Amino acid sequence: MWRRVVSLYPLLSPSKSSVLHRAKGGIASKEKTPFITFVLGGPGSGKGTQCAKIVETFGFTHLSAGDLLRKEISSNSENGAMILDTIKEGKIVPSEVTVKLIQKEIESSDNYKFLIDGFPRCEKNRIAFEQIIGKEPNIVLFFDCPEYEMVKRVLSRNEGRVDDNVDTIKKRLKVFSALNLPVIKHYTEKGKVCKINAVGTVDEVFEQVRQIFTELMV
Ligand code: ADP
Ligand code: C5P
Ligand code: MG
């Protein structure tokens, strides 16, 4: 026990420990109550990369709001054109559209552990989720990354995304500061946020993430 506390100390501040303590009841539940993790951070902070590793190691289902919206565009859904225009501008798609896509995935899944990545992007997203799904997140991961690093990563992502260019990234960073940081502040005040230093190699960042989920799964 002593060794465990000592080894966690540099990464888990006392407040982070209490975030985990509060969240534990949910994940240990035998009922199929969803355990919801919101995964937040600016564009290129490494959310998707780390979610893939959490899925592999801890058996979560990964729901990326951006991926669900891009799927709507490529399936020529009725909202496809509107979503494409919104993404090109780095703006936020109407909350009801995004929450309904997430809801469909949650309801059709056999899993009960979810990573909801890139959501909520703004207070309207957050409130719509709480109203439509009727649940708050058990925990919120925040990948804290300086802008220069996010810009560097986005510009070298090379996945052919319409929004990974200098003009759109500037807009996305502004939207992140103006609309997403207030959501992170809200959940920080509710004691739900685990802040992760997103600078470092993928494996170095994942070590911080691993410690959080290892604590949660106990
Ligand atoms: P997000 O989902 O937050 O937008 P991604 O996970 O897609 O970010 O990562 C953005 C880009 O940066 C990708 O090309 C990814 O391979 C790369 N990347 C992710 N994590 C790191 C890291 N820790 N160091 C360097 N590059 C990274
Ligand atoms: O998270 P990701 O970088 O994949 O998001 C890409 C874009 O998808 C965002 O810049 C935004 O235009 C849109 N999006 C949104 N609402 C969300 C998540 C993403 O409108 N909750
Ligand atoms: Mg992503």
Tell me the CA–centroid distance for residue 213 and ligand 1, in Å: 20
Ligand 1 atom with the shortest distance to the CA of 199:
23
State the pLDDT confidence band at 217, using cuts at 50, 70 and 90: confident
Q: In the chain, where are the structural domains located? A: 3-217
For the stretch 18-56, pLDDT in tens is: 787 777 665 554 456 899 999 999 999 999 999 999 999
Q: What is the pLDDT of residue 125?
A: 98
- Which of 38, 50, 121, 126 is the pocket-test mutation for ligand 2 (most atoms within 8 Å of CB)? 121
* pTM, 2 dp: 0.92
Q: What is the pLDDT of residue 176?
A: 98
Tell me the CA–centroid distance for residue 195 and ligand 1, in Å: 17
Q: What is the mean pLDDT of the chain?
A: 91
- 3-state helix/strand/coil string of 92-122: CCCHHHHHHHHHHHHHCCCCCEEEEECCCCC
* Cα distance between residue 111 and residue 33, in whole Å: 10
Tell me the CA–centroid distance for residue 174 and ligand 3, in Å: 17
Q: Contact at 8 Å (CB) between 78 and 133?
A: no
| Shortest-distance Cα residue to atom 10 of ligand 1 | 44
Nearest CA-CA partner of 177 in 209, 145, 212: 145
For the stretch 92-149, pLDDT in tens is: 999 999 999 999 999 999 999 999 999 999 999 999 999 999 999 999 999 999 999 9
For the stretch 71-89, pLDDT in tens is: 999 999 999 999 999 999 9
State the pLDDT confidence band at 67, using cuts at 50, 70 and 90: very high
Q: What is the pLDDT of residue 59?
A: 96
Q: Which CATH superfamily is domain 3-217 in?
A: P-loop containing nucleotide triphosphate hydrolases (3.40.50.300)
Q: What is the pLDDT of residue 17?
A: 73
Q: Which ligand is nearest to the CA of 156?
A: 1
42 lines ligand 2 (CB under 6 A): no
| Shortest-distance Cα residue to atom 26 of ligand 1 | 153
**Which range, of 3-17, 18-32, 52-66, 169-183, averages the lowest pLDDT?**
3-17
Pocket of ligand 1, beta carbon within 6 A: 41, 43-49, 153, 157, 200-202, 205
Q: What is the pLDDT of residue 2?
A: 31
Nearest CA-CA partner of 40 in 190, 143, 130: 143
Ligand 2 atom with the shortest distance to the CA of 43:
3
Tell me the CA–centroid distance for residue 217 and ligand 1, in Å: 25
